[in-house]
Amino acid sequence: MAARPHHFLILAALLLLIGAPSSAGAGSDGTGKVPVELYYESLCPPSALFVTYRLAEAFEDGLLEVADVTLVPYGNAEVGKDGTITCEHGPEECLLNTVEACAIDAWPDVNVHFGFINCVEELAMNETQGEWESCFHKLGLDPKPVTECYKSEHGHKLSLKYGKQTGALVPPLTGIPWVVVDGKPRDDGDFVYYICKAYKGRPPKICQEPDRHYRTAVEAGNGVSYNSGGFKLHDGVEDKIEVARVENN
């Protein structure tokens, strides 16, 4: 008996499905990007340094071609029984954490909200974070959505949400900033290396320049620290904090 035409159509469809490349997985060919999460505090000196130096540089070098970046401004804050949030560096940090959370909420485009957060963190580096509202004017952004957010319960709820997200980390964070690349915590100085390693598509410029894969070291006293305690930025910050580039071994 001759095969019916629709049998050939079914067979052809099955062959196409079997031969089609899979698009699942981080950094797969096509639109796949490596998920990257940054857990930080707005007034933590190493966080501010990482945002304004390492992360900003990576953005300029095309990080978003390979990575889906999520910023989580919360860090080592704690929530009391009454829902009040206490931040490691005081009430001003709680305010700026909420402001930055509101910026992420108001402007979902990572290029936009990172530009604002980078501006605020640059001010924090120079201990002029009280001028954070100047970032609206510098970047040509409407202050209304962020201002209304941080002054309302919505801003508080955003901070609580980020607190839950931070608290759910496995393993838990042990320092700030805390970078998670493709579901795994990574040293913040090597994060670009691990992103490029996880990415399966055609390597963009940022992954073709090995000299970019240096570490960020924050000299504080007698040692090198990546966590949030131990020193404070003052005028003449260049004399007290050295940003060292150390090639990966």
SS3 at position 59: helix
Which residues, 6 or more positions from 110, have their beta carbon under 8 angstroms from its beta carbon?
64, 69, 71
How far the first Cα of the chain sits from its last, in Å, is 69
Q: Give pLDDT tens digits along the chain (249 positions).
A: 444 545 444 444 444 443 433 334 454 434 589 999 999 999 999 999 999 999 999 999 999 999 999 999 999 999 999 999 999 999 999 999 999 999 999 999 999 999 999 999 999 999 999 999 999 999 999 999 999 999 999 999 999 999 999 999 999 999 999 999 999 999 888 899 999 999 998 888 888 875 554 444 333 322 223 333 333 333 333 333 333 333 333
Enter the DSSP assignment of 222: T
Looking only at the bridges linking them, the beta strands covering 223-224 and 214-220 are: antiparallel
Q: In this structure, are residues 188 and 50 in contact, taking their beta carbons and an 8 Å threshold? A: yes
Q: How far apart are CA 63 and CA 60, in angstroms?
A: 7
Enter the DSSP assignment of 26: T
Q: Kindly list the structural domains of the chain, giving each domain's residue range(s) and its CATH number in brackets, ordered by start.
A: 34-247 (3.40.30.10)
Enter the DSSP assignment of 77: -
Q: In this structure, are residues 146 and 102 in contact, taking their beta carbons and an 8 Å threshold? A: yes
Q: How far apart are CA 12 and CA 138, in angstroms?
A: 58
Amino acid present at 211: D
Q: In this structure, are residues 179 and 185 in contact, taking their beta carbons and an 8 Å threshold? A: yes
Amino acid present at 196: C
CA distances to 6, 19, 35, 98, 107 from 211, rounded to whole Å, are 58, 39, 23, 36, 33
Cβ atoms within 10 Å of 151's Cβ, excluding its own: 13
